Amino acid sequence: MADPYHNNIYHQGDGDSYRTYGQGGQDSYGYQTDYPPQEEDAASDATEGHDEEDQMYEGEYQGIPHPDEVKAARRAARAKARTVADGVSDQEELAEQYEDIMEDCGHGKFQWTLFVVLGLALMADSVECFVVALVLPSAEKDMCLSHTEKGMLGLIVFLGMMFGAFIWGGLADKVGRRKCLIIVLAMNCISAFFSSFAQGYGFFLFFRLFSGIGIGGSVPIVYSYFSEFLQMDKRGEHLSWLCMFWMMGGIYASFTAWGIIPRYGWGFSMGTEFQFHSWRVFVLVCALPAIAAFVGLLFMPESPRFLLENAKHDEAWMILKQVHDTNWRAKGEPERVFTVTQIKTPKTQEDEFIEIQTATGTAFQRWVVRTLTLTKLVMKNVLSLFGRDLRLATLLMAIIWFTMAFSFYGLSVWFPDMIKHLQHEEYESKLKVFHREKVEQFHFNFSLENQVHKEGEYINDKFINIEMKSVKFEDSLFVDCFFENIRSTETIFENCTIRSTVFYDTDLYEEKFIDCTFENVTFLHNKKGCHLDYEEENDVLVYLVSFLGCLAVLPGNIISALFMDKIGRIKIIGGSMLISAGCTFFLFLSFSQAAIIAWQCLFCGVSVAAWNGIQVITVELYPASKRATAFGVLNAICKLAAILGSSIFASFVGISKVIPILLSFGALVGGGVLALKLPETRKKVLL
């Protein structure tokens, strides 16, 4: 089989901190710089009046090595390692060369601009995880959702994100990081817009699924994309800083929900068929990070590493020059010249798209051929993750991703559900029971809440302009009563006898009467739906718990970013998962709402370091041609674990604490121990 890369020879000029790659032969790709050669005595405006030999490096007095000396030492060490190693592959040579180029480009304005743009895309993914949970208390009233429908709405986003991660991660390695990320952000924006206006449950469910499929691809692409603009000694730290945008997305979602959803007057209606309540405004606002990231990406270039892998040498060189010039101009050194003239180039790719000539076949036929070929190439890339070289790493990473997500997302659902359960228990403890009461000719002009009426008699009574919340009439008799403008929730009549009674403009429809006997009963202008006031129904604690849980990860984010390159990815992941496992045992002590919130903050703050390490090492373990694909597959496994974890943990709320705690403990310990078996990648160039 032919060698997929041409040979390349590169050298470093004497006293020059920049390399010139290749010598312009047929085995390399040459570029001519736009800068004319300068005379030896020539000086730029920036350096005029200064004697270079008289200038003293400011760190010399403290014995701090000059950055150029550090850079040269690093390169010498890598060159020595290549000399010692037997049979260094062309892929490794290209990776070393690319690392040298990124070191010459430096870390500066360009990376920070891209950092913000990609961070906003990561925020969009985070917001998508929170939006349904935050709108559900209001949306269920607006759409009168059943328990099953609420559960499906909560899981549908993760289901969409699972497929989206797999699809878009694979496509990013074949079509391009930037192009795919623009598409997924556009899908998220469009679906957020339509879902906010969708009146029916089916349409709302469909658009949230579509949004999940779109934004699910953002995480694999964002980390793969950003890592390819970072040099080795900056990679772990700055990828960890990027993780902070996920926290910011959660804070943004919970804070805006807190400020918007309880404002019921912010909505509008067009008759009875179209309602646009405040929670729908919140859904629109949640699309703002995706919109901002979409606009920012229009001004960002494609990853040059991806372009080199696909033999697009001119484009890659121009982007690398752009990165170099942007950074050094921002640092006040515009005279620095991008001296790369040749870059090691791969031969014609084996995986080229099969195209039909423009004059051959119809447009649809050409599209079908391209789509089928692209699908085949993506699946081939996925299968290659389980080849001999990557099989063990992929298996270990899959288990670590699964165990971490299963525990984290399972407990993320369990915490708020336990708080609701404790609230419900406290609510039920205040239940009022009325037994065999007899009420005649009485006007009920006050709301009834959390009551049970057994074997009562209500003769010629009026129930007008009131709310009934969690009220049950059991084995009761109603004679000559009048009900008008009643709004109810969790209110039922069971085994009651109702005679000569009128129900006018109420939401007491057939489903709320169980085994009742009707005699001369009239229903006029009956209304269906959930009509309780949204402002009363929205518990601020829902938003507060989400806000505090996201804010608690800030210390963990900072610590992991500062120490990711110092103590290594493996110790960060293993240590964080094992400490998180220990934290789960404190959940046995959670007997109050305040205690649960405190343990939730502790768990989130400790576990975030593991998440950061997992995402960094996933980028570093796989070569450029498989990086986004591998990240997408592992992220899809993560979302599958989230679906299973949230479903299983939620089913034990109010039944048992022991099983969820033991499940999370076992998953974290198993994943943490396996993480210690992974290879350390902090000193490894990106292949």
Domain positions in the chain = 432-524
Q: What is the pLDDT of residues 192-205, one digit of tens each?
A: 899 888 877 888 88
Structure tokens at 130: 């929170």
Residue 459, pLDDT score: 93
Q: Can you say how many angstroms the Cα of residue 255 is from the centroid of all Cα atoms in its chain?
A: 17
* 159 neighbors 362 (Cβ within 8 angstroms): no
Residue 289, pLDDT score: 93
- The 3 state secondary structure assigned to 458-505 is EECCEEEEEEEEEEEEECCEEECCEEEEEEEECCEEECCEEECCEEEC
Residue 346: DSSP 8-state: B
What is the rounded distance in angstroms from the CA atom of residue 510 to the CA atom of residue 187? 41
- The 3 state secondary structure assigned to 71-97 is HHHHHHHHHHHHHHCCCCCHHHHHHHH
Determine the angle formed by the axes of helices 109-143 and 177-197, rounding to 10 degrees.
30
What is the rounded distance in angstroms from the CA atom of residue 131 to the CA atom of residue 133? 6
Report the CATH architecture of 432-524.
Answer: 3 Solenoid (2.160)
* 665 neighbors 585 (Cβ within 8 angstroms): yes
Residue 28, pLDDT score: 45
Strand partners, 489: 469
What is the rounded distance in angstroms from the CA atom of residue 544 to the CA atom of residue 594? 12
For residues 634-646, one letter each, b for 16 or more C-beta atoms within 10 angstroms of the residue's C-beta and e for the rest, the string is bbbbbbbbbbbbb
Residue 529, pLDDT score: 56
- For the question of whether the overall pTM of this predicted structure is more than 0.75, the answer is yes
Structure tokens at 562: 């500062």
Burial status of residue 512 (CB atoms within 10 A of its CB: 0-12, 13-18, 19 or more): middle
Helices marked H in 530-626: 534-537, 540-551, 553-567, 569-584, 593-621
Short-list 655, 620, 618, CA closest to 637? 618
User: How open is the CA angle 223-225-229, to the nearest 5 degrees?
Assistant: 110
What is the rounded distance in angstroms from the CA atom of residue 118 to the CA atom of residue 480? 67
Short-list 498, 493, 523, CA closest to 511? 493
Residues, the chain, total? 687
Residue 53, pLDDT score: 40
User: How open is the CA angle 620-621-625, to the nearest 5 degrees?
Assistant: 85
Residue 509, pLDDT score: 78
The residues of the chain scoring below 70 in pLDDT are 1-90, 264-276, 344-361, 528-540
What is the rounded distance in angstroms from the CA atom of residue 209 to the CA atom of residue 205? 6
Q: What is the pLDDT of residues 147-170, one digit of tens each?
A: 777 778 878 888 999 999 999 999
For residues 664-677, one letter each, b for 16 or more C-beta atoms within 10 angstroms of the residue's C-beta and e for the rest, the string is bbebbbbbbebbee
β-pairing, 457-459 vs 482-489, is unpaired
What is the rounded distance in angstroms from the CA atom of residue 222 to the CA atom of residue 242? 9
Residue 61, pLDDT score: 47
* 218 neighbors 185 (Cβ within 8 angstroms): yes
Strand partners, 440: 459
For residue 89, give the amino acid letter.
Answer: S
Residue 587: DSSP 8-state: G
